[in-house]
A and B are shown apart, each in its own frame.
Chain A
Amino acid sequence: MATRQTQSLAKLMRAPAIILLLIWMVVPLAMTLYYSFMNYNLLNPTGTSFAGWFNYQYFYTDPAFWESIWNTLILVLGVLLITVVGGIAIAMLIDKPIFGQGIVRILVISPFFVMPPVAALIWKNMIMHPSYGVFADIAKFFGMQPVDWFAQYPLFSIILIVAWQWLPFATLILLTALQSLDGEQMEAAEMDGAPALQRFIYLTLPHMARAITVVILIQTIFLLGVYAEILVTTNGGPGNASTNLTFLIYRAARLNFDVGGAAAGGIIAVVLANIVAIFLMRAVGKNLD
């Protein structure tokens, strides 16, 4: 009696949520697609006309385009590298029983609760500022010339800030994976004559593979769209040194009021995200089985 009725009932009950999600996704995507083929500038909103592929050509031939794609990839990879390696290291440290473990764990996780613009401003004004930042103080203490981070290493500075924000997320996920590692397996490996490094390579890492995959996939989604940190620190500069694709689109839409061009950029960003996703799933997707 049950199965067929419950199945159709289940479909019915799911439908509102799925339809809502679909509208949420499809409508903006369709509008973006539509505008990407239109000449539509907010400075001249009445002069709307069909543009063909011109918006794409215009966006593509922008001298900042390739640099921004390159910056996007470096940003994603750099942050992933720091957060995964750092996350594993911190997770293994705070997995050990220590005095004040609860407080230490909360402190480690807390950067995640600071919203991106606030975090970026703190880094900009209190840590990396060339005259009154903490880094400058340290440099002066050792008698060195303070580094003007955002002028000299703009992209690296942003990678550092974003990595600081995402490190807690990676640590948290990897810590839970680490806690589910069977203690007897470790002891068995110890009896089998495996020293600490071998135990890490042959037991801990494979055990954490799935968690690492989850961290990489989730972070990639968010890192492709990093924007606030760039806006409040370097504003994409100097030149285009810290402009990523998201920021380039922002510039087209909000500084040039070119809705058509920005929409074309948005579609390109969607394509890029999908290419990255395909590569990622090829590389690490099998860990999720």
Chain B
Amino acid sequence: MGSITLKNVRKAFGDVEVIPGVDLNIEDGEFVVFVGPSGCGKSTLLRLIAGLEDVTSGQINIDGQDVTDAGPAKRGLAMVFQSYALYPHMSVRKNIAFPLKMAKMSEAEQEKRVAHAARILNLDNYLDRKPGQLSGGQRQRVAIGRAIVREPSAFLFDEPLSNLDAALRVNMRVEISELHNSLKTTMIYVTHDQVEAMTMADKIVVLRAGNVEQVGSPMELYSKPANKFVGGFIGSPNMNFIVGEGAAKHAAHTIGVRPEHWQLSTEGGEFSGTVGVAEHLGSDTFLHIHLDDGTPIIARAEGERDIHHGDKIFLTPQDGRIYRFAENGLAI
């Protein structure tokens, strides 16, 4: 079991209010991703749930029990840190067994659980090595192994993939998703990478300056962003925003159009502009376009296109793919 509820949780460091008040419901077995730009308070929120920081006010419940004042060990959660935080002088085996040893579990049971975790994570051949002798991905697995053996009610991940190279990151992303599918345990995952958020999450919590901007499934956030910030944060490359005359035509202060939702034409369209840099990725081409009023736009063109720097181009948003925002940023 691992349902977690935050009730008006506030956190201030001295006079600086990092989290002004968060209400959040996390269901048992969900994969929840906290996403937001650097310094938005997502790691702090995770540490509050872990018990590594004290809440200033508010209440945290795990499985219906108030754990606001309970120590980290009492909450039954396991955490994977950004730096992995492995114990450098212990072998992989001892690292993984450490929480069991602290729980005074019998040697046989420890051995059984370590072997089980090692099998799941492909660490069988590395059990007697020290963390210093492992690669980044292997260390990551050990850190996850140390979390698994405790059979916690929820896993907390604090930007676990940010120290890995790009290829490995994609692999570990899939492995963590697989792990979630086989364990069916609640996972809370903090990242600033919206691709990780989109690909892994059941539920995404978008944070800005300690405030929850929107909570929803990846597709909800993609297709129905609650405000301009969420619209701009989710999706890659970022959503294009157009203000002024072009937006007024759609009865909005700002309109947003995703790069993949433009229809491009060389003859005519709603907006016109000049092509700047064209990034050819093979499957897609991203065109950096300057509209006539100077607004920079990124548009995705499929496949290879014979478009060159300085060409005149016309753009029209696809039907029903225009996001309209009021002056205060909220979606209309």
B78: A residues at CB distance < 8 A: 191
**A190 CA to B72 CA in the complex, in Å?**
7
**A37 CA to B146 CA in the complex, in Å?**
66
The reply to whether the CB of A187 lies closer than 8 angstroms to some CB of chain B is: yes
B72: A residues at CB distance < 8 A: 187, 190-191
Stretch at the interface among B98-106, B185-193, B312-320: B98-106
**Total interface residues on A, using CB and 8 Å?**
18
Which one of B71, B77, B102, B150 lies within 8 Å of A198 (CB-CB)?
A: B102
Stretch at the interface among B11-19, B80-88, B162-170, B196-204: B80-88
A191: B residues at CB distance < 8 A: 50-52, 72-73, 77-79
**Total interface residues on B, using CB and 8 Å?**
24
| Closest chain A CB from B192 CB (angstroms) | 18
- B77 close to A202 (CB less than 8 A): no
**A42 CA to B81 CA in the complex, in Å?**
72
The reply to whether the CB of B89 lies closer than 8 angstroms to some CB of chain A is: yes
**A contacts with B: majority SS:** helix
Name the CB-closest residue of A to B74. Answer: A193
**B contacts with A: majority SS:** loop
- A192 close to B98 (CB less than 8 A): yes
| Closest chain A CB from B73 CB (angstroms) | 4
- A184 close to B82 (CB less than 8 A): yes
Contacts A190-B73, A198-B102 hold; do A182 and B85 have CB atoms under 8 A apart?
yes
| Closest chain B CB from A190 CB (angstroms) | 5
| Closest chain A CB from B185 CB (angstroms) | 15
**A188 CA to B158 CA in the complex, in Å?**
12
- Our count of residue pairs bridging A and B at CB distance below 8 angstroms stands at 58
- A182 close to B98 (CB less than 8 A): no
The reply to whether the CB of A73 lies closer than 8 angstroms to some CB of chain B is: no
- B89 close to A188 (CB less than 8 A): no
A156-185 vs B: 1/0 string, CB under 8 Å? 000000000000000000000000001011
**A226 CA to B120 CA in the complex, in Å?**
59
- B103 close to A185 (CB less than 8 A): no
B77: A residues at CB distance < 8 A: 191
The reply to whether the CB of A52 lies closer than 8 angstroms to some CB of chain B is: no
Which one of B71, B85, B99, B150 lies within 8 Å of A185 (CB-CB)?
A: B85
A209: B residues at CB distance < 8 A: 89
A193: B residues at CB distance < 8 A: 73, 99, 102-103
- A192 close to B89 (CB less than 8 A): no
**A203 CA to B79 CA in the complex, in Å?**
18
A189: B residues at CB distance < 8 A: 87, 98
Name the CB-closest residue of A to B50. Answer: A191
A118: B residues at CB distance < 8 A: none
Name the CB-closest residue of A to B89. Answer: A206
The reply to whether the CB of A251 lies closer than 8 angstroms to some CB of chain B is: no
| Closest chain A CB from B96 CB (angstroms) | 10
| Closest chain B CB from A173 CB (angstroms) | 19
**A194 CA to B50 CA in the complex, in Å?**
15
Which one of B50, B98, B150 lies within 8 Å of A202 (CB-CB)?
A: B98
- B52 close to A182 (CB less than 8 A): no
**A195 CA to B74 CA in the complex, in Å?**
11
Name the CB-closest residue of A to B81. Answer: A184
Which positions in A face B, CB cutoff 8 Å? 182, 184-185, 187-195, 198, 202-203, 206-207, 209
Q: Mind listing 6 A-B residue pairs with CB under 8 Å?
A: A184-B82, A188-B85, A188-B86, A191-B72, A192-B98, A206-B89
Extra A-B contacts (9), CB below 8 Å, given A184-B85, A185-B88, A190-B52: A182-B83, A184-B83, A187-B72, A187-B79, A187-B81, A189-B87, A192-B150, A194-B102, A207-B88
